[in-house]
Structure 1
Amino acid sequence: MDLQHYLKRIHYKGKTEVSIETLNFLHRAHVLNVPFENFHVINRIPIVLDQEKFYSKVVERKRGGFCYELNGLFAKALEEIGFDNYFIGCSVFVPPLNDFGSNFGHLAIITSIDEQLFLVDVGFGDAFLEPLELKFDEPVFQFGFYYRLTQLPNEEILLEKSLDNESYQKMYKFTLKKRDLQDFAETCEFHQVSPLAPFTKKPLCSRATSAGRITLTSTSLTITNGQQKKEVPILSSSQFDELLEEHFGMKFTADPDLVA
Structure 2
Amino acid sequence: MTTTLPRSALHDTAQWETSPLDLDAYLARIDYRGPLAPTLSTLRELQRAHLAAVPFENLEIVTGGEIRLDLERLQDKLVRRRRGGYCHEQNTLFATVLDRLGFVVAGRSARILMGDDADKVTPLGHTILNVTLAGRQWLVDVGVGNVGPREPIALELGVEARHGHWEYRLERSSLGYWLLRHHRHDGWFNLYQFSDEPYYRADYEEQNYLASHHPDSPFVRRIVAQHNGAEERLALTDLELKIFRPGQAPELQRLDAEALPQILRERFGLVLAPQQEAALLRRAESLVEASA
Same fold (TM over 0.5): yes
Corresponding residue for 1:119?
Answer: 139
Q: Which runs of 4+ in 1 moved over 6 A?
A: none
1 CA distance for matches of 2:273 and 2:158?
48
The structure-2 alpha-carbon separation of the partners of 1:90 and 1:146, relative to structure 1 and needing over 3 Å to count, comes to same
Specify which of 62, 69, 72 is matched with residue 52 of structure 1. 72
8 Å CA contact 2:116–2:190 kept in 1: the answer is no
2 CA distance for matches of 1:158 and 1:185?
24
> Is 1:188 aligned to residue 208 of structure 2?
yes
1 CA distance for matches of 2:50 and 2:271?
20
CA shift, 1:177, in A, is: 1.7
- Give the match's secondary structure for 1:44: coil
CA shift, 1:133, in A, is: 0.8
Specify which of 268, 279, 288 is matched with residue 248 of structure 1. 268
> Is 1:230 aligned to residue 251 of structure 2?
yes
The aligned runs of 1:1-260 (5 Å cut-off) are 1-93=21-113, 95=115, 99-103=120-124, 105-125=125-145, 126-152=147-173, 156-163=177-184, 167-228=187-248, 229-237=250-258, 239-253=259-273, 260=279
CA shift, 1:158, in A, is: 1.3
CA shift, 1:143, in A, is: 2.6
Q: Which has the higher strand share?
A: 1
CA shift, 1:123, in A, is: 0.2
Task: Report the AA paired with residue 180 of structure 2.
Answer: L
1 CA distance for matches of 2:252 and 2:33?
33
Task: Report the AA paired with residue 234 of structure 1.
Answer: L
2 CA distance for matches of 1:62 and 1:153?
41
1 CA distance for matches of 2:108 and 2:75?
20
CA shift, 1:44, in A, is: 3.2
CA shift, 1:55, in A, is: 1.4
The unaligned stretches of length 5 or more in structure 2 are 1-20, 280-292
**Structure with max Cα Rg:** 2
2 CA distance for matches of 1:94 and 1:25?
26
CA shift, 1:200, in A, is: 1.5
2 CA distance for matches of 1:216 and 1:66?
14
Aligned length, in residue pairs: 256
2 CA distance for matches of 1:89 and 1:223?
28
- Give the match's secondary structure for 1:173: strand
The structure-2 alpha-carbon separation of the partners of 1:18 and 1:95, relative to structure 1 and needing over 3 Å to count, comes to closer
CA shift, 1:95, in A, is: 4.5
2 CA distance for matches of 1:144 and 1:100?
30
CA shift, 1:79, in A, is: 0.9
Task: Report the AA paired with residue 53 of structure 2.
Answer: N
Percent identity of paired positions between Structure 1 and Structure 2: 28
Moved more, 136-145 or 113-122: 136-145
CA shift, 1:184, in A, is: 2.3
1 CA distance for matches of 2:245 and 2:179?
26
- Give the match's secondary structure for 1:99: coil
Moved more, 22-31 or 43-52: 43-52
